[in-house]
Amino acid sequence: MIAGTAQPHRGDADVLPKKSFLTLAHASIVVAAARAAAEADGVAVTIVVTDASGEMLKLERMDNAPLLSLLVAQGKAKTAAHMRLDTGQVGKLAEILPALGTIPGVFPLPGGVPLWDQNELVGAIGVSGGVGLEDQAVAEAGARALT
């Protein structure tokens, strides 16, 4: 298991199952891996890691990353967490369902990736500052750090 676990207080059979969650230490690992990928690609980005609900756990803005990338990276991470999809896939869905792209807070741009512990969503990473596919590659590198 890559994340912390919330422990139930009772041992009864009717207790809800344990739920994994992303810790700050794990978010730091994701950010470090994403930053290394961005540096290797020569792109300055902002990296945001959220928990499963889309709330920010960690943010890092590299030197010379565009200021607007703060908002966009957070939006991509939230979108990936809320929709449980890579934001590039959300963009493809928006081509078929244009109304999807008009929902406030939905960022249908490559660079947002859900973070999973086995089949359980534990968070998401959002990256902005490069060209779409650069953002996606950096986000995927960060996500791979948890496997």
- Alpha carbon separation from 135 to 29, 45, 138 (Å, rounded): 18, 8, 5
Task: Let me know: does 109 contact 91? Beta carbons within 8 Å.
Answer: yes
Per-residue pLDDT tens digits for 24-61? 999 999 999 999 999 999 999 999 999 999 999 999 99
Query: Is the overall model pTM greater than 0.95, yes or no?
Result: no
Q: How is domain 18-144 classified at the CATH fold level?
A: Beta-Lactamase (3.30.450)
